[in-house]
Structure 1
Amino acid sequence: MKLAFTSPMKPLDHPVPSGDRTLARLLVRAFREAGHTVDVATRFQSWRKSGGRSMQEALKTEALREAEAVAASWRSTGYVPDAFVTYHLYHKAPDWIGPALAREFNCPYIVIEASRAPKQATGDWAFGFAEADKALEAADQVVALHRADATCLRDLVGERLSIIPPFIDTDPFDDAPALAVVPKRIKLLAVGMMRPGAKMRSYEVLAQALERVKATNWELTIVGDGPERADIHDMFCELPAHFVGSVATDAMPAFYSTNDILVWPAVREAFGFVFLEAQAAGRPVVGGDTFGVPDIVAQGVSGLLSAEGNVDAFAANLERLLEDPQLCNQMGQQARAHVQARHSLEAGTQHLDTLLLRAKDHFAFKHQTGKIS
């Protein structure tokens, strides 16, 4: 199939790395490896940090102008997509371009990673919320990446909703040696950007939890950088922690390979690629039970999760693994098997192929019945 693609939250070539950009690129790769052609229709970014109706109305006008420019280009070249795919849509990043082009070129419209917060129906984001809902109502298929997002979407999109687990390319992690914890010195790893808000809060929870851990057989390596690095350094100054700064993506498998346990509280985290990467490398995780994290970490099998922000519970889970190296090794083996079975690129490709078939079927059905959005 010929797929037109856009990511209104963050373009594929955005200079700032993030899980959002990573998954968008993985989606394109998975579609292409399944034999589909993918063309990026537009780099238009509708995401804004702050709301307000006048700003959002002006943004809609700009987006529709962009949609017409894309349409004119397609008409001039004779390009007609078989489906239009939008990645990551919500009240701060509505999609006006995908629905407009799907209507004009008479093809299915698909939204992957939609999230919906009904509390945003009023207030500064009310217009963006309503416009995002319009796009979801027009979609032939809507994908949530975890059950928490699916809950708020189901009432609006009904049977057009499916859950596709997030996935990664596991190949770079295949060479990681099987975990063999040395009880006298267990190596912990934390990976996270050092920015205000939820990331900063995750570092706070981690530092506080480590201060409460009674075991002394550990050391921590922290990978990450950002504007809050000085304050974060101060949090860990009296702990056996080593900061390595920002690390290139292709160098990360080595860090998972040379450490034993990933520790990350995941405050307000959608799901966290670091959990998938650590498990793919055969490393257990201690994390926060937040949003989609329990959908990708098998509790008690590949890791231990505690309530979001609960310092004592996080410390207790970590202490459990520090005191039981055999359990660490067992969870490491199970972690790798878990990701290979459910969250590999191959698994994602199969899910996406099924999604395209469902979108085609729904599109055909609504045309046959006259129920065209």
Structure 2
Amino acid sequence: MRIAFYAPMKPPDDPVVSGDRETARLILRALAEEGHEVALASRLRSWQRTPDEARYAEILEQAKAECERLLGEPPFPDVWITYHLYHKAPDLIGPTVADGLAIPYVVLEGCRAASRATGPWAREFADADRALRRADAVAALHKEDAEGLETFLQSGRLHRLSPFVDAARFDAVAARERDGDPPALVAVAMMRPGDKEASYRLLADALARLSGRPWRLILAGDGPLRDDILALFPRDRLDWRGAVPPETVADVYAEGDIFVWPAINEAFGVALLEAQAAGLPVVAGQSGGVPDIVRTGETGLVVPEGDAVAFSDALATLIDHADLRRDYGRAAAAHIRQRHDIATARRTLAGILEAAEAGHSRRRAASGVPS
């Protein structure tokens, strides 16, 4: 079928590397491998870091123009898919186009924080809610998001899609023996203000508590706070690789023994999936969907979010016990292949599309409109 794909937070061809962009690209690939013809419907970004009334008025006008273009521009899609919809990035295009073309409307990674219904984000939250209500199927990517949606959506419309990677890309890396002396710790993340900066600062705090233990740190990432973040870590233990393209990031994981990321306010973290696929045990903070993808005590250790002492203690355990980190690493690679691989995601996406088509037909029948 012909699928219109839209990512209001960041289009999949955006030049800036991020987990959000990589997930969008993987979804596009999975759909294409299922035989669908997928086209990027729009590159309009509705995302705002902070609420801005004037800017949002501009976005609304741009969205209106995009709707008019898409409703008059054949060939028309058979279904519309929007990826990552929430109050900071509402879908202002998909519902209008889906209604105009009388096609199913699907949301992948729908998020809803009811606390945003009032306050400075109220207007954007209401627009995101309208899109979620229109959706024939909504997929949550982790338990926390599912819990935020289940009381809002009508029965049968909420689905689960586990975050995924192409595990085969990391097969060769996962098979290598890891006997780092000292152990190599790896973190892969952008160096920007906000949650990423907070995670780097907590990591530095945790590592400062382990100055008497052997370790070295490999950092892959870049951004506006590069100098400030690199200065947090001891120069003689730091190996900074800069921004590493997705095509070669497996080479970074290949050099590591433990993946470390505090995951402050993290949705789930593509790097956490990739690192486990590469056979690395993980130490991570318990935020968002992290507990959904890291099995604490089996593929790594998950500690309370924002707790530098707990993070340091967990990391000390893996630094001190090479056998344990090797066991966790082997279990991590198997876990990703079994539950978070693109092959599994393809089957799940097929089921979501079938459910959306059925739900769309029922909704039209209930309103007295022939399917």
Amino acid at match of 1:68: E
Answer whether contact 1:91 1:132 (CA < 8 A) is retained.
yes
Answer whether contact 2:196 2:264 (CA < 8 A) is retained.
yes
Q: Which structure 2 residues correspond to residues 1-373 of structure 1 after superposition, within 5 A?
A: 1-74=1-74, 79-159=75-155, 160-178=157-175, 180-182=177-179, 184-213=181-210, 216-237=213-234, 240-370=237-367
Amino acid at match of 2:14: H
Displacement of 1:57 in angstroms is 3.9
Unaligned runs of 5+ in 1: none
SS at match of 1:128: helix
Answer whether contact 2:174 2:333 (CA < 8 A) is retained.
no
1:371 and 1:91 mapped to 2: Cα distance?
Answer: 32
Answer whether contact 2:180 2:256 (CA < 8 A) is retained.
no
Answer whether contact 1:56 1:127 (CA < 8 A) is retained.
no
Answer whether contact 2:220 2:243 (CA < 8 A) is retained.
yes
Amino acid at match of 1:37: E
Amino acid at match of 2:348: H
Partner deviation per Cα, 1:9-58 (whole Å, 9 max, x = no partner):
11121111111111111111100001111111211211122314454344
SS at match of 2:153: helix
Q: TM-score, normalised by structure 1?
A: 0.95
Stretch of structure 1 that moved more, 126-135 or 52-61? 52-61
Q: Between the two proteins, what is the percent identity of the paired residues?
A: 42
2:9 and 2:105 mapped to 1: Cα distance?
Answer: 17
In structure 2, do the counterparts of structure 1 residues 366 and 186 end up closer, same or farther at CA, with 3 Å as the change threshold? same
1:22 and 1:316 mapped to 2: Cα distance?
Answer: 32
Amino acid at match of 1:31: L
In structure 2, do the counterparts of structure 1 residues 277 and 217 end up closer, same or farther at CA, with 3 Å as the change threshold? same
Considering only aligned residues, what root-mean-square deviation do their CA atoms show, in Å?
A: 1.6
Runs of 4+ in 1 over 4 A off after TM superposition: none
Stretch of structure 1 that moved more, 204-213 or 56-65? 56-65
Q: TM-score, normalised by structure 2?
A: 0.95
2:307 and 2:318 mapped to 1: Cα distance?
Answer: 17
Stretch of structure 1 that moved more, 168-177 or 237-246? 237-246
In structure 2, do the counterparts of structure 1 residues 45 and 183 end up closer, same or farther at CA, with 3 Å as the change threshold? closer
2:28 and 2:3 mapped to 1: Cα distance?
Answer: 9
1:183 and 1:242 mapped to 2: Cα distance?
Answer: 14
Amino acid at match of 2:167: T
1:364 and 1:182 mapped to 2: Cα distance?
Answer: 57
In structure 2, do the counterparts of structure 1 residues 34 and 147 end up closer, same or farther at CA, with 3 Å as the change threshold? same
2:113 and 2:306 mapped to 1: Cα distance?
Answer: 21
1:218 and 1:133 mapped to 2: Cα distance?
Answer: 47
SS at match of 2:253: helix
In structure 2, do the counterparts of structure 1 residues 24 and 371 end up closer, same or farther at CA, with 3 Å as the change threshold? farther
Displacement of 1:125 in angstroms is 1.3
1:211 and 1:248 mapped to 2: Cα distance?
Answer: 29
Unaligned runs of 5+ in 2: none
In structure 2, do the counterparts of structure 1 residues 214 and 57 end up closer, same or farther at CA, with 3 Å as the change threshold? closer
Answer whether contact 2:180 2:257 (CA < 8 A) is retained.
no
SS at match of 1:287: strand
